[in-house]
């Protein structure tokens, strides 16, 4: 197993790394000495926006809080903290988060996204993650756009000791996908992860090509791809919304991989992205190493976002 052997501990440890990279302004607001008043609520509103929780979610939470404050249902700062925790958790828990595995045969997971968001690295990390969960994994190198892309995934497959299906540069990516599905069936793989070339969501011909990859996969396995994940760069901000809309049109995206969460202090972006896209974040990327991926766990995330370990002292 070598240095990849720790994967399963990682899965069990939950969002340990996410917790380490998350430092949000929300954590600083809840101090013992604060009194609950209009000023506090205004500050909370500002802080939630600053933490990238998003306008829609923030407005909903603040309006509701103001109502509860007015009717004396919430009178102290620790109650606000508990309320905030409960509302955010409720929102995140309403999303279907678990990986949807095929009832039998290989589970095909198609990975897409704009250039440089972290697709290939995420494919490698996910391969390691699924393998840690006892799955037999195979990779499909459908980014045939650059020779370096095929090489990058080949190196990962070698390090991980998982099989890879690839063609030459400039080959039809749909043909590679077809072969990869065939190989996954033949080798009795549990999970096939398909890497695709980065593409600008506004480039119609490239988006059409993605649709073709999907249709060709379906020709071989009618209920595949079982999952289609859009990789978003957590540091991107609002443009992620436009990307997701365009990819969703050609691919019926079933979930998000939010890479580079370690590159932003605004972990709240997970909440905003889900609220706006109505798509679940299934995994988060928290670094460049092979084990820097975590299944997104709302409870652990909220705990980290609101720094609940520290807040225990403040709790009622």
Ligand X SMILES: Nc1nc2c(ncn2[C@@H]2O[C@H](COP(=O)(O)OP(=O)(O)OP(=O)(O)O)[C@@H](O)[C@H]2O)c(=O)[nH]1
Is residue 143 close enough to count as binding ligand X by CB under 6 A?
yes
Q: Where are the alpha helices (DSSP H) in the chain?
A: 7-13, 16-21, 26-29, 38-50, 55-70, 77-93, 119-132, 147-160, 173-186, 204-220, 239-251, 269-277, 298-305, 308-311
DSSP conformational letter for 75 = -
Q: Does 116 bind ligand X (CB under 6 A)?
A: yes
Residue 100 phi, psi (nearest 5):
-90, 100
Strand duo 293-295 + 107-112: pairing:
unpaired
Q: Which is nearer to Mg ion, 231 or 305 (CB)?
A: 231
**Element spanning 293, H or E:** strand 293-295
Residue with token string 């996908």: 177
254 binds, among Mg ion, ligand X, none (CB under 5 to 8 A by kind): none
Is residue 119 a contact residue for Mg ion (CB under 5 A)? Answer: yes
User: Quick one: 59 or 115, whose CB is closer to ligand X?
Assistant: 115
Q: Is 120 in the site for Mg ion (CB under 5 A)?
A: yes
Q: Is 226 in the site for ligand X (CB under 6 A)?
A: no
Phi-psi sector, 9: left (phi>0), alpha (psi -120 to 50), beta: alpha
Residue 190 CB, shortest distance to Mg ion, in Å, is 23
At closest approach, how far in Å is the CB of 144 from Mg ion?
11
Residue 209 binding ligand X, by CB under 6 A = no
Give least dist CB 306 to ligand X, A: 22
What tokens does 106 get?
């290989």
Q: Is 190 in the site for ligand X (CB under 6 A)?
A: no
Residues 42-101 that bind ligand X (CB under 6 A): none
Please tell me the distance from the alpha carbon of residue 190 to that of residue 192, in angstroms, as a whole number: 7
Partner in contact with 157, chosen from ligand X, Mg ion, none, beta carbon below 5 to 8 Å by kind: none
Minimum CB distance to ligand X, residue 243 (Å): 12
Cβ–Cβ under 8 Å, residues 195 and 166: no
In the region spanning residues 249 to 278, those forming contacts with ligand X, defined by CB under 6 A, are 259-260, 262-263
Interface with ligand X (CB under 6 A): 113, 115-121, 143, 149, 198, 259-260, 262-263, 285-288, 292
**Chain positions contacting Mg ion, by CB under 5 A:** 119-120
């Amino acid at each position: 197993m070598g240095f990849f052997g720790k994967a399963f501990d990682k899965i069990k440890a939950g969002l340990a790394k996410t917790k380490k990279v998350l430092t949000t302004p929300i954590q600083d607001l809840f101090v013992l000495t604060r009194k609950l008043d209009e000023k506090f609520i205004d500050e909370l509103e500002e802080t939630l926006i600053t933490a990238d929780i998003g306008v829609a979610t923030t407005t909903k939470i603040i309006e509701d809080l103001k109502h509860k404050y007015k009717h004396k249902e919430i009178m102290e700062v620790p109650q606000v903290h508990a309320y905030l925790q409960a509302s955010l958790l409720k929102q995140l828990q309403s999303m279907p988060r678990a990986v949807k595995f095929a009832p039998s045969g290989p589970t095909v997971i198609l990975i897409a996204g704009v250039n440089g968001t972290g697709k290939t690295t995420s494919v490698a990390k996910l391969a390691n993650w699924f393998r840690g969960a006892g799955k037999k994994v195979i990779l499909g190198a459908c980014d045939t756009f650059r020779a370096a892309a095929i090489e990058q995934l080949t190196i990962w497959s070698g390090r991980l000791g998982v099989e890879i299906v690839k063609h030459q540069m400039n080959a039809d990516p749909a043909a590679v996908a077809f072969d990869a599905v065939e190989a996954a069936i033949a080798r009795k793989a549990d999970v096939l992860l398909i890497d695709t070339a980065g593409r600008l969501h506004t480039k119609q011909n490239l988006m059409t090509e993605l649709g073709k990859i999907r249709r060709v996969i379906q020709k071989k396995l009618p209920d595949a791809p079982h999952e289609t994940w859009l990789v978003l760069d957590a540091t991107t901000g609002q443009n992620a919304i436009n990307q997701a809309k365009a990819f969703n049109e050609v691919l019926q995206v079933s979930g998000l991989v939010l890479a580079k969460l370690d590159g932003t202090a605004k972990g709240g972006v997970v909440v905003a992205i889900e609220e706006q896209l109505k798509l679940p974040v299934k995994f988060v990327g928290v670094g460049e190493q092979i084990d820097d991926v975590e299944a997104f766990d709302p409870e652990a995330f909220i705990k980290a976002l609101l720094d609940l370990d520290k807040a225990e002292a403040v709790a009622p």
